[in-house]
Structure 1
Amino acid sequence: MQTYFIAFLMLSVLANAVHCGPVFIWNSEVQPKSVFPRIKQSEFLEVIKPLQETKMIAAFLYSTLAFRYFRCGSCFPFLSQQTPAFFYANVERPEKALSSLNVTAHLKANSDGSLETHLVCEPGKLYLISLNELKRSSNSLKSCDDAIKKITTATNCAEAAYMFMGTKDELVEPIGHLYQHHQFSFHFSQFQVHTADGLDTIQLQGMNVSGMDPVLTVEFKANNSDTALTFNVLLSNGYFEIKAFKYNETQYYVTDLYAPQTSSYACGKIELHNDKEAIILRRVQMQYDKDKRIADFRFKDPWTCEAFTSPAIISGLFVAAILISILSVGVGMLMSVQAPTKYDSALGQNLYINVTE
């Protein structure tokens, strides 16, 4: 009996630890997806199959591609300029999903980013192109970007859909769950409490929403204790806002956690501190629906927590202001230089030049 229990527990862990990866799609119009919730293989195939009927598909595969790499704007200068472009953050084994379709050929890019075989620009063609050979370069991500540019330019196919995705099974943060109650939807992947003894992961369950507009009270019960995570959602002037979280009888205040009711709020990590401990919410996305939710639910366009006035940007603006000030003073001094109107001679009379304005 104990053996069966251990085997069941291991299967449960493996079932929940689904490997997901990012997928970047461009040069084709596809259905936008929410930022954090997982996209299943069947859902991903529903997007790809209509494209294969009308376009050639070229999927570029890189084994160590991760979600965090797309936060580097300078790593992909070519991909960052592509329109239309769509980004799926968590697709369940995207390479396996494409392999279930009718694949035309499995190709591999050389170290210089070229292909030995040209792509045929015909509807229904599906090419899986490995870029793993470029790992040896000093800047592998930039090399992948250059190779993609080189191959797509050489193909010169107007009716084509291009993808860039990861292939290595990489266990990242837990996928999380989507909770919905009445008009409020809340998704998070992990809730942790950081104390002096270490970092503990708390399992939250059973979201309950009480109250009425304009103040809603949201509560999550913790299944390993009698405590609960609660917060209030304030509705005013077309926005919804959260000002504080409460856990274990402790209030954690937060600022700038708000979004228009026409959008959802998304943040990769919310970390709140007090004197002795901290709470951490990972991959948070929430939204308030004024009207009744439709059956095919999808989060609205995200209002992210990435602030424009970050310390790095403020420092850059400050240094730029100083340099511009010094440059302005220097240019002004150069512009004030004039031809001399008097020449003094130590041996003879002084020479004066009359200047008429």
Structure 2
Amino acid sequence: MGLTSQLFLLLTVGLFTANASELVPVYMWQTIPTKGLFPAVTHVSQETFKEILLQKQAHQHSERMIIFAEQSLSPEDFSAKTFYELSQLSDHTRVTYLPTVSTPMEVIQSFGSDIPSVSVDDIIKDPKLLERKQLIIDLNDAKDDEDRVDMLKRHSKFIAEVYEKVSASSRDNVLAIYTGRHSSWIVPGDIVKHRQTREVKAVEGVTKLPHFLVYLNGSFFHTAKDGTSIKELKSLVPKETGFDDKTGLGILTISTDGGDITLNYIRTVDGYWIVYNVTYGGATFTTDMHNPLGFSSSCSSNLTLRETSTGKTDFKPQFLQFPTFQLQFFNNGTNEKTVGFDDSYDCVGFTSPAIWSGLFVTVILAIIISIGIAMIMDIKTMDRFDDPKGKTIIINAVD
């Protein structure tokens, strides 16, 4: 194979990889009058985006879906001035904005090959096309005498008008999606960059469950209501008690030599999995363990949970201390390809001991410097000096 052929092959593979890895923003809204929820996931995979669409249709009973597809779109295109009409939709609809989704149009078209695709001119000529249950409107009507910002402003106004017509003529909940077929901004570093996955070594403490990957190292410690009786819980064996794919509710149980510890979790519609409480020995403990799908949760330090208050005046809480752990929920279940944890959200809070130490030292230094400056400014110098050629300064001593 010649040098020219090799270069051509490398260029072809590179272009294919870039196209396959395009990240496009997705702006979705529904006729439900609730506030918008914005997931914190940096990159949404095709699998996660498909699950979000399925859950929106299942939980919100979305019978109608209309997609507005630009030929190219990127997060840099979004601004309140450009999409003024779209920004006003958040006042009376439920809005979800995903800034980087991997080729969302492929996911949408995978719902069925019978979803018709029409142009803007087709809608103008035949408004009855909007009566279809599912419809893709290609916004491929760029004009030679307008720049990109003007085109997007025109599309924003067109989308708002179409959505008002569809929602006004339908009693069903309408799910509208605004996205693009390709990215209008391609950053080479984002194309070749992949999130590194830490491989799980075959060590004691790592367990693969139907929907979870769990690592435990150490023992639980339970503190009774008296505050002095501490019990060590060893022989940890995690198991998955149940998961309901429709509601997203599930239970992760950790068996110990002192009883079972239950982690109750939920997979939300907006792409999170949340452990909303932990139970042990009849007591419920408050937790704030929440992570986006595709991320794991870890804690290298000792995480201590406090029993949820019962509201009684003589209430004395119990405490449950976790060992070093890492766990991750897999939306579509684990398989032979599940070999490691994804990037983790650590339980360390914002005000860690290192931050407190830095703040304390900074405050002490600021006080010392302030006192030093004040003392320097309070020094008074002599305003008269003895002149050898002049009259001698005489200072009268007063008894």
What TM bracket, shorter-length normalisation? Answer: 0.3 to 0.5
- TM-score, normalized by length of structure 2? 0.40
Which structure is larger by alpha-carbon Rg, 1 or 2? 2
- TM-score, normalized by length of structure 1? 0.44
